[in-house]
Amino acid sequence: MESQKTIKHIFQEYISKSTPIFKNREVLTSEFIPETIQHRNKEINTIASILAPSLKGGRPSNIFIYGLTGTGKTLVSKHITDELEKISKQGNYPIKVLYVNCKMKKISDTEYRLMAELCRLLGYELPATGLPTDYIYQTFFNALDSEKRIVIIILDEIDALVEKIGDEFLYNLTRINQELKNSKISIIGITNDLHFIEILDPRVKSSLREEEVLFFPYNATQLHDILKHRSYYAFYDNVLSDEVIPKCAALAAQEHGDARRALDLLRVAGEIAERMNDDKVTEKHVDLAQEKIDYDRVIESTKSLPKQTKVVLWSILELSNEKNDDIQTGEVYDIYQRKCKEIGLFPLTQRRISDLISELDMTGIINAKVTSLGRYGRTRVIMLNLNESVKEKVKAILNESLVI
């Protein structure tokens, strides 16, 4: 009863708050597609002119889009293909766009699931498992060819797909045009892995990148414009103090010009201000947002580490408490062995631990740089990348999951 009262209280307080912060929070999420996209005119024009022939029934070239995270690749592709579909409805040449994010679990884990998803997008429901692969291919083929049209397939994060199921699928997809009687397909592959194309089979490589478009990172000024534009729809008037947007833009620009990061910062800053019952979002909230985003990221990745890697991190944490100077692989391995004994875990070899340390380096929790100490050998010099409060939380998580 007591707790219900509190909840009610919270909700009422929220509703009756004199100056709400958000007009529309959605606008600041990465799923939101704004009507106008800023600072990507060149890319939009390039892609649009490659796709334009489809409006007269011609098959557009396959496109390969590269660019780091938060450079607008997905946004631009969706925006253009949405428009294309809309316009095609007024003409005689139907266009169908299929968008698949290959990082989504249960969609592109296996060839089967991906094909099933593509079939579903074409309006043919298939059971999630159980049918032979040829049958799925046949269904997909029939679905594609059932009417005269251009089908544009967007494979977002295509590197994840190839990692999981190989590139044979892509090969089949690029050849399917020769068999189709009514329809034609064109593929847009999107990736933030700039070296991805190198690992592809040469046959796939050449057909997939008939056209290439590169998305460069935004600079601070461009990020500023984007945030300014979105904040107009997201926040009520005069809620943002002047320094907030420049600060978000600058912070995100440091991180290779990631617009997603900039929007996250702005959104979380707003959320924090709202929770603190402040009526204005200030620089202080942006700092807190930055901390919160980092904190959440570290906590999440710590939780999801495999057990052995957790013990390695645990050892590094202990070493960082004991000594202030740089930590080396050998020292970590000693502590690691001791810890394994303590908790009854079979220790892995140093060779393997060396790899686990590099993996930890990639998550960003630690910094591990190969350094030569001359006479004293060559090793990785390891530094923890966590501030005190995060460190304590990580320690608690590790203790909880490792000590029984």
Partner DNA sequence: AGTCCACAGGAAGGGCAGGCGA
Partner DNA sequence: TCGCCTGCCCTTCCTGTGGACT
Gap between the terminal Cα atoms of the chain: 36
Which helix H or strand E contains 151, and what residues bound it?
strand 150-156
Binding of DNA by 380 (CB under 7 A)? yes
Nearer to DNA, 24 or 372 (CB): 372
Binding of DNA by 373 (CB under 7 A)? yes
How far, in Å, CA of 99 to CA of 167, rounded?
18
Residue 62 CB, shortest distance to DNA, in Å, is: 24
β-pairing, 366-372 vs 378-384, is antiparallel
Binding of DNA by 108 (CB under 7 A)? no
Applying CB under 7 A, which of residues 7, 181, 376, 404 lies at the interface with DNA?
A: 376
Neighbours of 90 (CB within 10 A): 7
Subset of residues 320 to 359 that bind DNA, contact rule: CB under 7 A? 328-331, 347-352, 354, 356-358
Applying CB under 7 A, which of residues 378, 383, 387, 389 lies at the interface with DNA?
A: 378
Nearer to DNA, 167 or 274 (CB): 167
How far, in Å, CA of 77 to CA of 87, rounded?
15
Alpha carbon of 173 to those of 132, 140, 149, 167, 249: distances in Å?
A: 18, 11, 16, 10, 40
Nearer to DNA, 186 or 191 (CB): 191
Eight-class DSSP state of 235: B
**CA dihedral for 201, 131, 118, 179, sign (positive or negative):** positive
Nearer to DNA, 89 or 105 (CB): 105
Nearer to DNA, 259 or 319 (CB): 319
Applying CB under 7 A, which of residues 183, 379, 390, 394 lies at the interface with DNA?
A: 379
Binding of DNA by 276 (CB under 7 A)? no
Binding of DNA by 182 (CB under 7 A)? no
C-alpha atoms less than 13 angstroms from C-alpha of 192 in its C-beta half-sphere: 14
Stretch 58-97: interaction string toward DNA, x if CB under 7 A: ----------------------------------------
Binding of DNA by 195 (CB under 7 A)? no
- Please provide the size of the chain in residues: 404
Residue 189 CB, shortest distance to DNA, in Å, is: 20
Nearer to DNA, 20 or 166 (CB): 166
How many positions of this chain bind DNA (CB under 7 A)?
A: 31
How far, in Å, CA of 72 to CA of 1, rounded?
49
Residue 187 CB, shortest distance to DNA, in Å, is: 22
Residue 167 CB, shortest distance to DNA, in Å, is: 11
Neighbours of 240 (CB within 10 A): 25
Stretch 125-164: interaction string toward DNA, x if CB under 7 A: -------xx-------------------------------
Binding of DNA by 304 (CB under 7 A)? no
Nearer to DNA, 22 or 112 (CB): 112
DSSP string for 8-48: HHHHHHHHH-SS--BS-GGGGSTT---SS--S-HHHHHHHH
Nearer to DNA, 298 or 368 (CB): 368
- Only segment of 28-36, 52-60, 206-214, 368-376 that touches DNA (CB under 7 A): 368-376
Nearer to DNA, 245 or 335 (CB): 335
Eight-class DSSP state of 238: T
Proportion of the chain in helix, strand, coil states, percent, rounded to 5: 60, 15, 30
Binding of DNA by 10 (CB under 7 A)? no
Residue 290, classed as helix, strand or coil, is helix
Applying CB under 7 A, which of residues 110, 177, 192, 363 lies at the interface with DNA?
A: 110
Residue 135 CB, shortest distance to DNA, in Å, is: 10
Chain contacts with DNA (rule: CB under 7 A): 110, 112, 132-133, 166, 306, 308, 328-331, 347-352, 354, 356-358, 370, 372-380
